[in-house]
């Protein structure tokens, strides 16, 4: 037997403390919580959404919640907490003095403003309805849809990398060479190739602009308002469907045009002509969905983040081990669903503090009007709203308080982000969907890529595989500087695997891919080979457990 004492001693050099382990029980508990949530048929809980694909629309039925309650209920609860925290005399309404304690309800301080409002006969207090309207205005719509179609460029880079002869086809020779080709993209040397490492190279700046100092940095793409993800309640949806799928221009859609079974058409076909006109299409949200799932936006650490597929006409491709992830294959596309574990308040405050430090030119711990003069948002009266004590200075705590308060209404909303992940070349390589291709996955790359062959003819064309999309659910956010969409990363929300294996194994597994290579192992060569029971050049957690 190999003594584990040597390994333990060496592993101390790898880290001062073991990484935090998320127990499998917690994942199962999160999924169990989602499954146990009663299906309250409340319109606020349910969203029927159509993904307008080239081969026909895909109907998604989403049940969105926050800590087990609907988004509308979460916002009502927040309004109640806000009023209770400000209502000093407990009379159910807020005086302007009470309301001014919250940055949300505070108004710009102007001389004689109180007397002016009194002269107009304006009420001297805010009712619960007034507060609710303010929160609704600041928080925005409960569910917003965004898309980033530029993410497909990463997948195109994978194909271009593998297509060494640039003939537009991946032959068997190129598939066999894929492990070495992909490993070239490992820019950080961690023996894993991430989705980000396939970012297309930035365009070369104009040399003349460089010489003149006018070259600008390329801004990362920002998710835009979605046009291929449409809410079924949208009034113009029938017209969009007809414009996209009505091939014979008869202002009606057949089962063939929608690529739907005849039974689904029959359920909506009021006049029995086997076609759907605009009036019948208006009820499309009541049809049987292609997939019905629930998503809880509560942070993973608090037992949320669960994606529960209740029913689907597609085929589940994931193992079901991750509570926050699902992958489903349909005839027209493969769609993955995930929860982005983002704390919107903490992220907003962190972003604001970075900007605060940049603006505080004299590093005296506060911002004066001169330091904020060039910021457009401050010119619109933001300075007065942040300056709670009216001393003409904004301290870090005042900015934090303002940003945290402004972020609360947005945190009761959900943003559904759609990413076009191309034709699935990267997804085929990344078997465990953690956003990285590991050494073990590289070894299976030829076989995994071969699964993308649909026509059974030699070679895999760039657009031969079925389209792949990634949909993620993330809590809404507020950004003091810049659009809130920038809080959404420019790539899908890949979730890295939880650390597994003995503590010494976790410490040595620097890239957390679940295997130890010789480069990661800190012991003697003979110990490595002794632990590598199958002699594949990798020590997996099961082999590590056998160490004595």
Note the pLDDT tens digit of each residue in 222-268. Answer: 556 668 999 999 999 999 999 999 999 999 999 999 999 999 999 99
Domain count, the chain: 4
| Segment 128-133 mean pLDDT | 91
User: Which is nearest to 513 in space by CA: 207, 229, 186?
Assistant: 186
CA distance 274 to 264: 10
Contact yes or no for 290/60 (Cβ under 8 A): yes
> Is residue 207 one of the residues assigned to a domain?
no
Calculate the CA 108 to chain-centre distance.
Answer: 36
End-of-domain residue from the set 269, 285, 301: 285
What are the E-state strand segments in 248-316?
A: 291-296, 307-312, 315-316
Integer Cα distance of 518 and 423 in angstroms: 34
As a whole-number percent, the residues of the chain with pLDDT over 90 amount to: 50
Residue 314 has pLDDT above 80, yes or no: yes
Report how far residue 63's alpha carbon sits from residue 284's, in angstroms, rounded to the nearest whole number.
17
Q: Looking at the domain assignment, is residue 80 inside a domain?
A: yes
418 located within any domain: no
Distance CA 22, CA 27 (A): 8
Q: Please check the confidence at residue 196 and state whether its pLDDT lies above 90.
A: no
Contacts 24+ apart (CB under 8 A), 276-282: 276/252, 277/251, 277/252, 278/238, 278/239, 278/242, 278/251, 279/238, 281/237, 281/238, 281/241, 281/242, 281/253, 282/237, 282/238
Residue 384 inside a domain? The answer is yes
The answer to whether position 46 is within a domain reads: no
| 298 in any annotated domain | no
Domain extent at residue 12: 4-21+501-545
Domain contains 361? yes
Across the range 135-147, mean pLDDT stands at 90
What is the model's pLDDT at position 21?
38
Asked if the structure places residue 509 within a domain, the reply is yes
The CATH number for 100's domain is 1.10.238
* Domain end among 285, 306, 324: 285
Rounded to whole angstroms, the Cα distance separating 287 from 228 reads: 19
pTM: 0.79
pLDDT in tens, 465-522: 999 999 999 999 888 876 654 444 455 556 666 778 899 999 999 888 889 999 999 9
């Amino acid at each position: 037997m190999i003594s584990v004492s040597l390994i333990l001693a060496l592993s101390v050099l790898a880290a001062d403390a073991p990484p935090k382990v998320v127990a499998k029980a917690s994942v199962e508990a999160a999924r169990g919580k989602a499954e146990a949530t009663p299906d309250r048929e409340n319109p606020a809980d349910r969203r029927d959404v159509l993904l307008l694909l080239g081969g026909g629309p895909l109907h998604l039925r989403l049940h969105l919640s926050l800590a087990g309650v609907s988004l509308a209920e979460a916002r009502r609860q927040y309004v109640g907490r806000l009023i209770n925290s400000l209502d000093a005399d407990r009379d159910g309404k807020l005086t302007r003095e009470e309301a001014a304690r919250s940055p949300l309800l505070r108004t710009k301080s102007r001389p004689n403003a109180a007397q002016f409002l009194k002269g107009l006969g304006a009420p001297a207090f805010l009712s619960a309805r007034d507060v609710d309207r303010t929160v609704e205005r600041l928080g925005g719509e409960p569910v917003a849809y965004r898309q980033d179609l530029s993410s497909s460029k990463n997948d195109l880079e994978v194909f271009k990398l593998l297509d060494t002869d640039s003939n537009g086809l991946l032959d068997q020779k190129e598939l066999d060479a894929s492990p070495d080709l992909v490993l070239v993209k490992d820019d950080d040397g961690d023996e894993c190739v991430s989705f980000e490492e396939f970012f297309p190279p930035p365009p070369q700046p104009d040399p003349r602009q460089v010489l003149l100092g006018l070259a600008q940095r390329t801004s990362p793409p920002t998710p835009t308002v979605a046009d291929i993800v449409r809410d079924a309640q949208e009034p113009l949806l029938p017209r969009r469907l007809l414009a996209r799928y009505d091939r014979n221009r008869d202002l009606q859609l057949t089962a063939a045009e929608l690529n739907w079974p005849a039974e689904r058409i029959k359920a909506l076909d009021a006049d029995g002509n086997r076609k759907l006109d605009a009036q019948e299409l208006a009820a499309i949200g009541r049809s049987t969905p292609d997939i019905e799932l629930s998503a809880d936006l509560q942070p993973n650490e608090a037992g949320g983040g669960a994606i529960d597929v209740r029913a689907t006409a597609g085929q589940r491709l994931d193992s079901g081990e991750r509570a926050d992830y699902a992958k489903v294959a349909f005839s027209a596309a493969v769609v993955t669903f995930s929860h982005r574990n983002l704390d919107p308040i903490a992220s907003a405050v962190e972003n604001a503090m970075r900007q605060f430090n940049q603006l505080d030119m004299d590093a005296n711990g506060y911002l004066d009007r001169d330091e904020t003069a060039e910021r457009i948002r401050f010119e619109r009266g933001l300075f007065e709203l942040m300056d709670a004590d009216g001393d003409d200075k904004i301290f870090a705590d005042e900015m934090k308080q303002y940003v945290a308060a402004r972020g609360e209404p947005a945190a009761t909303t959900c943003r559904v982000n759609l990413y076009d992940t191309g034709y699935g070349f990267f997804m085929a390589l990344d078997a465990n969907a953690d956003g990285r291709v590991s050494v073990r996955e590289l070894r299976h790359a030829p076989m995994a890529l071969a699964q993308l062959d649909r026509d059974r003819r030699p070679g895999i064309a760039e657009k031969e595989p079925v389209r792949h999309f990634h949909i993620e659910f993330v809590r809404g956010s507020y950004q003091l500087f810049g659009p809130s969409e920038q809080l959404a990363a420019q790539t899908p929300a890949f979730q890295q695997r939880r650390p597994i294996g003995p503590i010494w194994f976790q410490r040595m597994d620097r890239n957390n891919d679940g295997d130890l290579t010789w480069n990661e192992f800190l012991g003697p060569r003979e110990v490595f080979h002794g632990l590598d029971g199958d002699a594949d050049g990798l020590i997996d957690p099961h082999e590590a457990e056998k160490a004595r």
